[in-house]
Structure 1
């Protein structure tokens, strides 16, 4: 599951604050890394969830974010670290407002589609992460 020999197994990207053009760039880099990874649909799920976390980080911080994706023998782990201090609690999924377009669904999707996920406080910011086992989606 860790990919072909010579295939990159780690992605690290630093993103500028509020630069939403970084979202498709991260998606493209992840797609290239996961070209031979996982069962049918697994890399599509990874791209979707990564896009949601990156978008959240860039919308809610002015200081940018760091995305790390690592293919391990058991699957894939993606972490998005932002640098927002003074948070009033860590984020969690919430029921989106029906007429709010596409906003408010990111963590709900992560919760529904990831094999595991979580949020860790790092004092100056947080890391939101998810793991996928790479099986069929």
Structure 2
């Protein structure tokens, strides 16, 4: 995990972008976010890269909606170096990377997946909360 104090260079270049406000505890936003990201990434990256992006995005969106009692904002930006996805919420409590319990097949795996599959990821604090983000390169090289 990377502590990210400033915006990534990928955020500064004008690029195709998805931005969605996610309603508090509205888990319908998870498949909607995946679908919107799929449309944004229709021609992006090598095969399988956009599916990885969808999976990681759904993990971050789910975490924001389940573990906070506030709205969240999803931003996905396709830049010259790859994709950056950020989910901002309005709770300062930082997420914890947990070792999943083998007896619990549905909880505790989100950030482990992000850590395992993203090229980089981290948490950036902001005035009234935090943003959890990940980046993927297009995998074309």
Do Structure 1 and Structure 2 share a fold, with TM-score over 0.5?
yes
Aligned to 1:110: 114
**Structure 1 alignment gaps of length 5 or more:** 1-7
Superposed CA RMSD: 1.3
| Residue 25 (structure 2) pairs with residue 18 (structure 1) | yes
Aligned to 1:96: 100
Aligned equivalent of 1:131, options 126, 129, 135: 135
Following superposition, the deviation at residue 48 of structure 1 comes to 0.2
Normalised to the residue count of structure 1, the TM-score between the two structures is: 0.88
Following superposition, the deviation at residue 123 of structure 1 comes to 3.7
Normalised to the residue count of structure 2, the TM-score between the two structures is: 0.85
Following superposition, the deviation at residue 62 of structure 1 comes to 1.6
Following superposition, the deviation at residue 101 of structure 1 comes to 1.7
What secondary structure does 1:108 align onto? Answer: helix
Separation of aligned partners in 2, 1:92 and 1:62: 17
